[in-house]
């Protein structure tokens, strides 16, 4: 139970920092909280690297054998985890679509586009930001709980700021302002990561930077911008 809590919190820390940056939905006023969450994640990484913290130091937690009494190495358990991941993704996208289409979603978009005007209309902007940040952290926790049993290891390096930056790049590649664009960007960037870290591991960060610069220059709306507006699912 302790390991499950730690691995869930681990991904919550690294993912929510990037998700919280977007949950603020304000291009000018989010730099301070974004920097704070990044600094906190980095501080936790350095703390958990210490062997006396009881979290395994550099090695982290490994050798996961069972989850809720089920053998993690069995084909049935691995298939169940894969199905659970797909279901969790579908539920997340569906929930996000409901939020975007709701009254709260319209207020959130208004905060993104004109925070001061939204505040002037009487909405408590901070409450919406906080709620969305917590919601993104919950999603990150679920992602971490599904991720670790499938890869079999979790260590403090998951707190590195590069993980949060990758999430931003997923959204940039897929298309900002779209839900399915973010999913597509996550799949494509992680596929590229799997290839480069296996074939050319020393060049992965350069490739990641090149992807981000290329998308910024040539696809400002991401891959979603290639789809005609009338047929685009957002």
pLDDT values of the chain reduced to their tens digit, one per residue, 234 residues: 444 444 444 444 444 444 444 443 344 445 566 677 778 878 888 887 877 777 777 777 777 777 777 888 888 888 888 999 999 999 999 999 999 999 999 999 899 888 899 999 899 999 999 999 899 889 988 988 898 888 887 888 778 877 878 888 888 888 887 888 888 888 888 888 888 888 888 888 888 888 888 888 888 888 877 776 654 555
pLDDT for 37: 78
- Secondary structure element (H or E) that encloses residue 71, with its range: strand 70-71
Please provide the DSSP assignment of 132-168 as one string.
HHHHHHHHHHHHHHHHHHHH--B-GGGGSHHHHHHHH
Can you give the pTM of this predicted structure?
0.72
How many whole angstroms separate alpha carbon 219 and alpha carbon 104? 30
Q: How many CB atoms lie within 10 A of CB 165?
A: 17
Residue 186 near residue 174, CB atoms below 8 Å = yes
Residue 135 is predicted with a pLDDT of 93
φ, ψ at 104 (rounded to 5°): -60, -35
Contact in structure between 138 and 15 (CB atoms under 8 Å): no
Task: State the pairing for strand pair 70-71/66-67.
Answer: antiparallel
Query: Which pLDDT does position 205 carry in this prediction?
Result: 81
Phi, psi (rounded to 5 degrees) for 43: -65, -40
* Rounded Cα gap, residues 69 and 211, in angstroms: 42
**Residue ranges covered by each domain of the chain:** 1-159, 161-234
pLDDT of residue 171: 87
Nearest to 7 by CA among 142, 194, 160: 142
């Amino acid at each position: 139970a302790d390991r499950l809590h730690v691995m869930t919190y681990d991904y919550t820390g690294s993912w929510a920092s990037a998700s919280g940056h977007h949950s603020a939905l304000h291009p000018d006023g989010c730099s301070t909280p974004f920097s704070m969450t990044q600094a906190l994640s980095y501080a936790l990484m350095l703390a958990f690297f210490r062997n006396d913290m009881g979290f395994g130091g550099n090695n982290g937690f490994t050798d996961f054998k069972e989850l809720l009494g089920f053998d993690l190495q069995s084909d049935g358990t691995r298939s169940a985890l894969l199905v659970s991941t797909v279901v969790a993704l579908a539920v997340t996208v569906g929930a996000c679509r409901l939020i975007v289409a709701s009254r709260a979603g319209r207020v959130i978009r208004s905060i993104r586009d004109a925070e001061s005007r939204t505040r002037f209309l009487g909405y408590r902007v901070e409450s919406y930001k906080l709620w969305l940040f917590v919601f993104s952290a919950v999603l990150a926790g679920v992602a971490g709980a599904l991720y670790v049993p499938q890869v079999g290891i979790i260590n403090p390096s998951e707190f590195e700021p590069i993980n949060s930056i990758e999430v931003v790049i997923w959204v940039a590649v897929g298309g900002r302002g779209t839900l399915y664009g973010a999913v597509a960007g996550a799949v494509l960037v992680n596929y590229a990561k799997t290839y480069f870290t296996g074939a050319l591991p020393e060049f992965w960060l350069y490739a990641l930077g090149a992807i981000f610069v290329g998308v910024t220059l040539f696809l400002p709306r991401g891959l979603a911008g290639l789809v005609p507006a009338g047929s685009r699912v957002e």
